[in-house]
Amino acid sequence: MKFALWGFQSDGEIKKYVLEILDKLTDDGHAVFMLDTFAEQTEITRPDVNIIQENDIPADADFIISVGGDGTLLSAAQAVMRTPIPILGINLGSLGFLTSLERDWRAGLDSILKGHYHIEERMVLNCRLEFEDGTEETLWALNDVVIERADIFNLLALEVRVGEQLLNRYLCDGLILSSPTGSTAYALSAGGPIIDPNVEAVLITPISPHTLSVRPVVTTGENNIYISLSNPDGHAHLHIDGKNTRQIDSSLRIRVRPSSYRIELVVMPENTFYNKLRKKLNWGQRSS
């Protein structure tokens, strides 16, 4: 089998786990590829590991192993957005909603190598920036598209349309448009609902709206969602999965809709979405 090892940060703990994972895979005779920047950070120089750049991930790789937290997995998802390579996340971070294995990864990886896993397809958001001169830029997000104010002293004025219908004109600190996967991320902190990842929907969650009656809205995903800055002098920051930041203003319109792309996540049979919710959010546990 072919494995690509992915990560973008390193410390003593991460380096220790990377070395152990490499030893496990190479001892079992698997072909291993590793992102060059990650190899440099973890000081990996081994003849049995193929060092590659981000654009050179083998299209026939069986898995990408993401070593880190949810942020690391999101960056791996950006790299394989157009190539359906399953992502296996090993959580060395804090929460780990997207990852399948924790620090005691050995038994889980052995089970996966024996075929004891399933693939969960996750919806991706297509975010298109439409500029006044007719040019466009398209970005993709597994978690969310976030628009936040650039001026800390002024609220954002945003107009949001679902298809041809006006949803609202928001005065707020920002707006989160999230996939069901992203409903357990920033949107959850902003008061949004949790959405089953099998639902084809887009969640619109305002950040600190000026009107208390404004609440998150779940749309079906069948319509395009259009966002524009209402204030001609307004400026904002656009974030895609917490990265890929763009400076935006009222000269463009943003369109968000479900993409035809899907991200494939490796899931252990006992580590279902609802099991994760109960465990990660400590549901059913009494506070001491």
Domains and CATH numbers, the chain: 2-117+268-280 (3.40.50.10330), 124-260 (2.60.200.30)
Residue among 57, 77, 71 nearest 5 (CA): 57
Q: What is the pLDDT of residue 57?
A: 94
Kindly indicate the confidence band of residue 121, based on its pLDDT and cuts at 50, 70 and 90: very high
Count H helices, E strands: the chain? 6, 17
Told to judge if 133 belongs to the known catalytic residues of this protein, a careful annotator would answer no
Mean pLDDT confidence for 80-96: 90
Kindly indicate the confidence band of residue 251, based on its pLDDT and cuts at 50, 70 and 90: very high
Mean pLDDT confidence for 228-240: 92
Mean pLDDT of the chain: 93
Type of residue numbered 86: P
Q: What is the dihedral of CA 230, 235, 240, 244, to 10 degrees?
A: 150
User: Would the pLDDT of 244 be above 90?
Assistant: no
Which listed residue (56, 70, 144, 249) is catalytic?
Answer: 70
Cα–chain-centroid distance for residue 94? 15
Mean pLDDT confidence for 125-148: 96
Q: What is the pLDDT of residue 152?
A: 82
